[in-house]
């Protein structure tokens, strides 16, 4: 509804229009949130694969499932491809988060998204600390 039409609308019509806009906004937020979660799951899968192949020999052949077919790929090429895919997913997720936050910063869904984002940051920090600890332990075991 345009600004002029809103001025001419009755209070009941304006209230109904606000309800419709709120409902549409909530639906859009839900769709954005579902997409962000899907992207995050895909990113975790890539992290799992990268973690599983990190100790393999660089010239070792691997197989990647592409459209129901197992395709042979070199380990280094696979690592590079997965890193690029992961970076693209991160960019897409951040763009969606930005869109999500713009919709209604005071909404319940927004608050939950903030909590999830904070938890994700906390887990990332813990992960980095654990990796540093593992490196330290490995160094001390080698000495």
**b/e for 84-113, b at 16 or more Cβ within 10 A?**
eebeebeeebeebbeebbeebeebebbeeb
Q: 1.10.287.370, 3.40.50.300, 3.40.50.360, 1.10.10.350: which CATH number matches 15-103?
A: 1.10.287.370
Residues 6+ apart with CB under 8 A from 44: none
pLDDT digits (tens, 9 = 90+) for 110-143: 666 677 778 888 888 888 888 887 787 777 777 6
Cα torsion angle, 27, 31, 33, 37, sign: positive
pLDDT score, position 66 = 82
- Rounded distance between C-alpha atoms, residue 127 and residue 24, angstroms: 38
């Amino acid at each position: 509804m345009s600004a002029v039409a809103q001025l001419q609308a009755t209070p009941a019509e304006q209230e109904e229009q606000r309800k419709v806009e709120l409902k549409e906004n909530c639906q859009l937020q839900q769709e954005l949130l579902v997409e962000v979660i899907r992207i995050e799951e895909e990113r975790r899968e890539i992290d799992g694969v990268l973690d599983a192949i990190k100790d393999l020999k660089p010239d070792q052949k691997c197989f990647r499932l592409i459209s129901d077919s197992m395709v042979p790929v070199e380990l280094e090429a696979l690592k590079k491809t997965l890193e690029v895919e992961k970076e693209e997913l991160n960019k897409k997720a951040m763009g969606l988060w930005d869109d999500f936050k713009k919709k209604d910063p005071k909404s319940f869904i927004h608050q939950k998204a903030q909590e999830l984002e904070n938890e994700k940051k906390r887990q990332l920090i813990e992960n980095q600390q654990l990796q540093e600890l593992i490196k330290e332990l490995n160094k001390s075991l080698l000495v």
